[in-house]
Chain A
Amino acid sequence: MYLIKNWYKKNSIAIAPYIFIAPNVILFLVFMIIPIIFTIYISFHDWGILGAPEFTGFQNFVKLFSDKVFWISLGNTVYYTAATVPLSAAFGLLGAILLNRKIPLRPIFRTIFFAPVVVSMTAAGLIWTWMFNPHYGLFNEVLSIFGIESVDWLTSTTWAMPAIIITTLWLRIGYCLVIYLAGLQAVPDSLYEAADIDGANDWQKFWRITLPMIKPTTVFIVVMEVIHGFMVFDLIYTMTNGGPGTSTTVIVQYIYQKAFVEGDMGYASAIGTVFFLIIMVLTAIQLRIGRDDS
């Protein structure tokens, strides 16, 4: 016992970190890594939960490549992400800049903008489905005040995705705004003061000082929002269930449909595996970009 204690005493700096990360890493191994390995294993099988998995080799993957809906759902996922990431970042930044000055009611504004962030996707989906209802909803009513004609939001192949994107913006802008607010406060005032002396106007100050100084914040937000975009599910499941047609079918929802509605675990796992690979590649690219920067 004494020996062990003594040994630990001597090597505590080397041993301590392993003990510190142990709870996290063990939980990851058990509840993340093992399931992922299991998923990859199942992707080479035909399996319906009941009964034993039946080995089918690459059959699921072959089927995947000619599956029109898979590619559509991949495309929709990209569409959704490409629209929500810049828009929520831009509006978040705009709000943050407006709020980053001594304005009356600041804490109240901040709370209002952040409030939607804490609402669950399911609840948000319900509220906005109700808002967008063409017959009883508020949204078209409000638009008509501005003289804009009614739109069949969730039931038209053209407008369903924009409707979901609008809902997402409501949910995510506050999040970006708060992070940008933090980023802006880290910009030293002395830079602006120097610019004032040089006679720069607000626009120039924004492009020359603010934007470059908050670049790390922007990178952080983009990464987080891309993750959100790729994983979107609950919102779409509640609002359109992927329809009309396949106009809002995204990848996680397609996985869900195959696994939980049709009971085709093998195929669902194959989609999951391909999706996982895509994510890995994306992460690697992101890391590369991050590294080049620093």
Chain B
Amino acid sequence: MEASKKGGIKMKVFNKAGFILFVSLMMGLFLAGCAGASDGSGVESNSAGDSDKETVEFVYWAAAGGEEEAFLDMIEDFEEKNPDIDIKANQVPPPSSGDYYTKIQTRIAADDSPDVFRIQYQKFGEFASEGALLDVTDLFESEKENYNPSLLTAVTSESKIYGLPHHTDTLAVFYNKTYLDELGIEAPSIPEEAWTWEEFIDVASKIEDAGLADSGIAVNWSETSAYRALPFFFQNGATILNEDSTQGNVDTPEAIESFTFLQDMFKNHMTQGNSMKGSDDFNMLFSSGNVGLLISGNWMIPKYESDMKDFEWGVTYMPIKESAASDLGGNGMAIPAASKHSEAAKKFLSYMGEPEVMKAFVEKGLFLPARTDITEPFNYAIEDQEMLNLFIEQSQTVPEELAETVTTNNFSKINQALGDTLEELFISNTTPENAANSFNERINSILEEN
């Protein structure tokens, strides 16, 4: 009871004035805390670079291992050679698992633009058409002939170059050699002898019939990389867009034939979980021998080298129909038009494009260079150098029309439509004709909107 009185007295001392004081104190502390927190990060970046250094923010993603190391090495080397520039390297989750492009767009729109960022070729059109990228034609004017023409097409919009074509990658067929040996099949070793569609399917059937694996084929594709199905159209002489990219062109007999082939391949020779939205781990299916053939890219070689312990394996060319074709993969680097350090950013961009630098990068990251004038031999960070040569050969089969298609302004939406169409073709019983028609309609309405 006595304590109660004390409490009561204390309370009176502290009443309204105390309350107001307390609130303002809380507010003050709170605001100070916020300011302190944001200052904290600011101070850090300032102390990292001396005050006379220009800071260039570089946003990129990289797979763990060689690719990640390659970027860091290059950044360090660049900073050494350019003591007045400090590269603030911000590695972020890859586009497949984050909101990579949305965030960059939002940052540009909110006047918080990074200075250089990594960008897939498929996204160049979208960014360039909105005027979001800096014209860097002057950097490349004199060396155009030293770059792979498809990739140069990819970064060019209305005859202006909007970024560095950095590297490419492409698809080929990985096969389980142990299985093929058992069946007495030898995989083609020169492009002229590449499996035809029919032969490819035939090999898959033999693997299944012999009980070696439940499914013959797997493909490294997903909803966001639906474009990896495009080679199957171009192999058959089909295109996706008409010549001036104003309308869809997939209601043709050739395209319908491609849809038919893809549907047959999926339904009869692939696992249910390998659809566009499927959750099967196709890499694991291949390395554990659950499928015999896997269409995948050069960047995956080290993974199979480390994981595939029970089987021998090899790489061969993409199947052909009327002609050979493979996918245009890889990434470039671009400078946002809103960058406040564009001159320093340009220096960084042209550094990354130097032949020796690019060579070192692709060797570590297992990519194919965008330049054509790099002196061989390459010293890739894998056991079997020959394998990469096959991918280099294969990359020469990427049709220029395919490069143009995947870099049109609205490719994100077209890619989504392609993914939806294929998903429907695989999962429900849509006919190839219906799939082709509805895909074509969706392309037309996408192109019409803009």
Contact = CB atoms under 8 A, between A and B. Distances in A.
Interface of A: 5, 8-9, 12, 19, 46, 48-51, 69, 129, 133-136, 152, 154-157, 239-247, 257, 259-264
From B424, B427, B428, name the one whose CB has the most chain A CB atoms within 10 angstroms: B427
B74 to A, nearest CB: 28
Contact of B285 (A46, A135, A156, A264): A135
B416 A257 contact: yes
B102 A49 contact: yes
Contacts of A260: 99, 102
B146 interface: no
Interface in B1-59: 16-17, 20, 23
Given A135-B280, A244-B277, 8 more contacts: A5-B17, A129-B279, A135-B285, A155-B272, A243-B276, A243-B423, A245-B428, A257-B416
B118 to A, nearest CB: 17
Given A49-B102, A152-B272, A245-B277, A262 B413 contact: yes
Contacts of B271: 134, 155
A154 B102 contact: no
Contact of A155 (B17, B130, B223, B273): B273
Contacts of B288: 135-136
Contact of B272 (A8, A50, A156, A240): A156
A154 B427 CA distance: 13
B69 interface: no
Interface stretch (B104-112, B153-161, B257-265): B104-112
B275 interface: yes
Nearest to B126: A263
A9 B105 contact: no
Contacts of B448: none
B273 A152 contact: yes
B342 interface: no
Given A155-B271, A262-B413, A244 B99 contact: no
22 contacts: A5-B16, A5-B17, A19-B23, A48-B105, A49-B105, A129-B279, A134-B273, A136-B288, A152-B272, A154-B273, A155-B271, A155-B275, A155-B280, A241-B223, A242-B277, A243-B275, A243-B276, A257-B416, A259-B102, A260-B99, A263-B102, A263-B413
A97 to B, nearest CB: 36
B307 to A, nearest CB: 13
A133 B290 CA distance: 13
A134 B271 CA distance: 10
A244 B423 CA distance: 7
Nearest to A264: B413
A48 B108 CA distance: 12
A155 B279 contact: yes
A82 to B, nearest CB: 23
B268 interface: no
A19 B22 CA distance: 12
A247 B272 CA distance: 14
A264 B281 CA distance: 30
Contacts of A244: 272, 275, 277-278, 423, 426-427
Nearest to A135: B290
Nearest to A239: B279
Interface residues of B, number: 42
B285 A243 contact: no
Given A155-B271, A244-B272, A262-B413, A48 B427 contact: no
A154 B279 contact: yes
Interface of A is mostly: loop
A74 to B, nearest CB: 17
Contacts of B102: 49, 259-260, 263
Contacts of B420: 69
From A157, A241, A242, A263, name the one whose CB has the most chain B CB atoms within 10 angstroms: A263
A154 B272 CA distance: 9
B334 to A, nearest CB: 13
B224 interface: yes
Nearest to B277: A243
Contacts of A129: 279
Contacts of B140: none
Nearest to B417: A262
Given A48-B130, A241-B223, A245-B427, A136 B284 contact: yes
A261 B224 contact: yes
B101 interface: yes
Interface in B90-149: 99, 101-102, 105-106, 108-109, 126-127, 130-132
B397 interface: no
B431 interface: no
Interface string B390-432: 0000000000000000000000110010001001101110000
B416 A262 contact: yes
Nearest to B285: A135
B132 A50 contact: yes
A240 B272 CA distance: 13
Interface in B355-370: none
Given A135-B285, A154-B279, A260-B99, A49 B109 contact: yes
A51 B426 CA distance: 37
Interface string B237-262: 00000000000000000000000000
B449 interface: yes
Given A136-B284, A155-B272, A262-B416, A240 B277 contact: yes
B366 to A, nearest CB: 26
A157 B272 CA distance: 10
A10 to B, nearest CB: 10
A241 B275 CA distance: 12
A244 B203 CA distance: 27
A263 B101 CA distance: 9
A49 B16 contact: no
Contacts of A157: 427-428
For the complex of A and B, the 6 pairs showing the least CB-CB separation, nearest first, are A243-B277, A155-B273, A50-B130, A245-B427, A49-B105, A155-B272
